[in-house]
A = this chain, B = another copy of it.
């Protein structure tokens, strides 16, 4: 008797689509290996004591004697078991005859998730018992020998995808969580994609993979750098946030084309979806301009993109920072959907509404709007309330959201200010139709845009909660954002400047003359790469002139240049023009795999408080072990300790 209904249930769980593809993950993984650049499938069973992997067996293997190693995923009435390895599942028939009693004993007594090695023959499933949804569903294994390699104690949770676990439990038992189909898939796709990137950079374009140190010295303003005490009293290494200085020094050293899959460190305390250590694809080239880096990056992503997804179309569209802010209210627009910001200031030039008049009289005063198409159909009263709350929570009264229903009744508190003439003009400019909802913000340009940018995403969330698909998860919309300002006013002291990105960014050639007169107006040669509303990379053409770099650091930014004297000196010794980019690998893989969190594309992630929940790192260290480093712990006072204690009681994830 066969239990095809159970198996098909299991297979349904395993064939959960990734993105919009409807293929089982195992199938898509295999296809990926075959299709990408037409290379042959790797030998997955070389060097080990199996002849095949569980997942690869097909009718073409019929009659073959095979040896398999794997975990017992499921057993049914001591007649079948399902054996799993990292390539998939296969059904194993437990022998029932007396002569095979010892084999039966091994296979029936081992707890689930025990590890066994079996040998046997690949046979057809009886007619009608095939499972077309399971890649190995046409065959099964007639076992001859079985060996228990390791027994499994009781598990804290089952290794099945449809068993929901809390993330804290998953992180505590990460070695079990890694057995899940999704984690196996994510880590393999990551490895394959990075390998393709390396092929593109090294083999096609002559880049040199150079490893740079992570024990370095602190950088100016490096407040987010982890410290590493050395054996010299009072001397510390820093774990750098990126290999920025090293990659520039490599260019000065004539390395010409550098890349590294670089481990970076950032100590930001508790931040959700950030990791204290993360990985970036770090690239730098000499004699290059913005266009060169952009083309390289586009080619890189196109070449390495998983072959089971739609090919990446290049070149990517580009938008200035100013345009992104005015149109999407953010420097990382999600361009998968419209709902763009419209400037409607002109409509209200002659309004009688004091509120609007006041807004327009401010410096850079504007009235802006977004249109939520068919919003009236989908948005409930409580949605409108939550939008309003979002607006007031994030912004003060200088910016006021106004809700207008485009249809017959302009149902809004502010509607009374809007005379028929304005209403017609608005309808014309924004092409409003019955059931559209308009969100209106009046105030200073940047603030109004920024508010509407946030409300745009909020509305997309709300509409999608009501079943409207705005952002196709299988669509990948890349966008360059360029022409950022070189400096921003410091938040705590707007009279001083800080770098918008970092102090090595070169000014835009058209604005260089302003550096000495109106530095706040200078645009930079920085570029960000945005994917579906996430910044996945950023880079710039760097300053290669020592004098200019010194002026920016010391005169404009008032930094302590002694910490960078080696770099300034290097720029004086024949530094070539150079530029580069860094892609955030964790975030990119998160988007590629459709994972809900970067913790799902990292083998051993830390909790959002920076803890390893499996091993309990960071941990206490005996005072004796601190001595060689000439440090001691400054234990907090009672009240400080209490704060810290409360803090550590926050839920982990």
Contact = CB atoms under 8 A, between A and B. Distances in A.
Contacts of A544: 149-150
A153 B620 CA distance: 51
A208 B188 CA distance: 6
Contacts of A245: 615
29 contacts: A42-B206, A44-B205, A44-B206, A49-B288, A69-B286, A69-B576, A149-B577, A155-B573, A175-B250, A176-B253, A178-B253, A187-B210, A191-B208, A210-B603, A215-B276, A217-B612, A223-B625, A227-B625, A231-B610, A232-B618, A233-B634, A233-B635, A238-B617, A246-B603, A249-B614, A253-B603, A263-B263, A630-B634, A632-B634
A630 B621 contact: no
Contacts of A213: 277, 604, 606, 612
A191 B218 contact: no
A621 B47 contact: no
Contacts of A175: 249-250, 252-253, 570, 573
Contacts of A382: none
Interface string A135-167: 000000000000001111101000000000000
A309 interface: no
A468 interface: no
A218 B621 contact: yes
A288 B576 contact: no
Contact of A212 (B216, B563, B604): B604
A566 interface: yes
B602 A234 contact: no
Interface of A: 39, 42-44, 46-50, 69, 71, 84-86, 113-115, 117, 149-153, 155, 173-179, 183-184, 187-188, 190-192, 194-195, 198, 202-218, 223, 226-239, 245-246, 249-250, 252-257, 263, 265, 267, 269, 276-277, 279, 285-289, 292-293, 295-296, 544-545, 563, 566, 570-577, 602-604, 606, 610, 612, 614-621, 625-627, 629-636, 641, 644, 648
Contacts of A606: 213, 215
A485 to B, nearest CB: 26
A477 to B, nearest CB: 24
A230 B609 CA distance: 11
A617 B254 contact: no
B48 A287 contact: yes
B204 A71 contact: no
Nearest to A619: B217
Contact of A230 (B206, B246, B618): B618
A626 B176 CA distance: 38
A42 B299 CA distance: 14
Residue of A48, A117, A204 with most chain B CB atoms under a 10 A cut-off: A48
Contact of A237 (B39, B286, B617): B617
A403 to B, nearest CB: 43
A472 B509 CA distance: 56
Nearest to A254: B179
Sort A-B residue pairs by CB-CB distance and give the 7 closest, nearest first: A178-B253, A217-B617, A42-B206, A152-B574, A47-B292, A235-B618, A230-B618
Contact of A150 (B173, B214, B574, B632): B574
A232 B616 CA distance: 13
A2 B642 CA distance: 82
A249 B641 contact: no
Nearest to A252: B175
Given A255-B187, A604-B212, A566 B615 contact: yes
A60 B618 CA distance: 62
A48 to B, nearest CB: 5
A252 B614 CA distance: 14
A288 B277 CA distance: 32
A567 to B, nearest CB: 8
A112 to B, nearest CB: 9
Contact of A618 (B237, B570, B612): B237
Nearest to A288: B48
A191 B205 contact: no
B621 A236 contact: yes
Contacts of A177: 253
Nearest to A295: B47
A47 B205 contact: yes
